[in-house]
Chains A and B, each alone.
Chain A
Amino acid sequence: GIQVEQSPPDLILQEGANSTLRCNFSDSVNNLQWFHQNPWGQLINLFYIPSGTKQNGRLSATTVATERYSLLYISSSQTTDSGVYFCAVKVEGGSEKLVFGKGTKLTVNP
C-alpha cells in the first residue's frame, strides 16, 4: 500500500517563529488533506489540497503532486498551534481509504 511519511516527527518552537512541515507519499494521489489534532484529541481539517497552493490566515499549504510531496507552512506561530499535524492521502484509482501519516507533533512555547 501507499506509504505516507511526515517530517519532522517532533518540532519545538518559540512563539512567533515560522515552520515548515513535510509530507512525502509513495504513489499518485487524488486527495490530500492536512489536519490538526489539538491536545484534547479533536481533529480539524486544515486543507484539502491534492495539488497547488492554498492559504488560510497564517497557514498555507503546497502540494507538488508530480514529485509526491506536500508542505504545510505555519507563520508567526502561537501556543494554540500546538498539537499534532497529520497529512492524509487517497490513492488515485484506489479504494475510498484515507491513509494517514504518523504526524508531526508541534509544541509552541510562550
Chain B
Amino acid sequence: ETGVTQTPRHLVMGMTNKKSLKCEQHLGHNAMYWYKQSAKKPLELMFVYSLEERVENNSVPSRFSPECPNSSHLFLHLHTLQPEDSALYLCASSQDLAGGWDEETQYFGPGTRLLVL
C-alpha cells in the first residue's frame, strides 16, 4: 500500500459515455498528478496540481477534464473518448513539487485500466 488509492480499478466504456476516475491520497501531500501509460510507450504526464491549483497541462485533449476539489482528492472526468485512449491511468502524489528527496518523491496508486470500445 502506497497511501494512494484509485477507483475504479477497471473500466470499460463506449465512445459516447461519460465516466470519472477517482484518486485519493492519505499522505497529507500537496501535489497530485495524472499519468497515462499506453502499451509500448513511456508514462506520459497529463496534469499536475499543487495545492488544488493546476500547474501543468501537458497538451491533453479536452475530452479529459481534471478536477481537484481538495488536496486529498483528484478526479479525471472522461467524455467522448476514442479507442486510442485505452490505457492504464495512474495517479500519483508528492509532498510538494520541489525541495528535494522528501518533497519530490512520487507515490503512485494502483491505476485504472481503461478500455474504450
Chain A residues within CB distance 8 Å of chain B: 4, 31, 33, 35, 40-45, 48, 86, 88, 90, 95-103
Q: Using an 8 Å CB-CB cutoff, how does the interface string of B101-117 with A read, 1 for contact, 0 for none?
A: 10011111011010000
Which residues of chain A come closer than 8 Å to B110, judged between CB atoms?
40-42
- Other-chain contact of B58, A43, A44, A97, A102 (Cβ < 8 Å): A97
Tell me whether B45 is interfacial, beta carbon within 8 Å: yes
- Asked whether B90 lies within 8 Å of A96 as measured between CB atoms, the reply is no
Q: Using an 8 Å CB-CB cutoff, how does the interface string of B8-48 with A read, 1 for contact, 0 for none?
A: 00000000000000000000000001000100011111001
- Asked whether B42 lies within 8 Å of A103 as measured between CB atoms, the reply is yes
Which residues of chain A come closer than 8 Å to B50, judged between CB atoms?
96
- Other-chain contact of A48, B2, B45, B90, B105 (Cβ < 8 Å): B105
Q: How many angstroms between the C-alpha atoms of A97 and B44 in the bound complex?
A: 9
- Asked whether A42 lies within 8 Å of B55 as measured between CB atoms, the reply is no
- Other-chain contact of A96, B42, B55, B100, B105 (Cβ < 8 Å): B55
CB distance from B46 to the nearest CB of A (A): 10
Q: How many angstroms between the C-alpha atoms of A93 and B97 in the bound complex?
A: 13
- Asked whether B43 lies within 8 Å of A86 as measured between CB atoms, the reply is yes
- Asked whether A31 lies within 8 Å of B42 as measured between CB atoms, the reply is no
> Chain A: interface secondary structure?
strand
Chain B residues within CB distance 8 Å of chain A: 2, 33, 37, 41-45, 48, 50, 55-56, 58, 88, 90, 92, 97-98, 100-101, 104-108, 110-111, 113
CB distance from B15 to the nearest CB of A (A): 24
- Asked whether A98 lies within 8 Å of B45 as measured between CB atoms, the reply is yes
Q: How many angstroms between the C-alpha atoms of A100 and B37 in the bound complex?
A: 11
- Other-chain contact of A41, B44, B88, B106 (Cβ < 8 Å): B88
CB distance from B16 to the nearest CB of A (A): 27
Q: How many angstroms between the C-alpha atoms of A35 and B52 in the bound complex?
A: 26
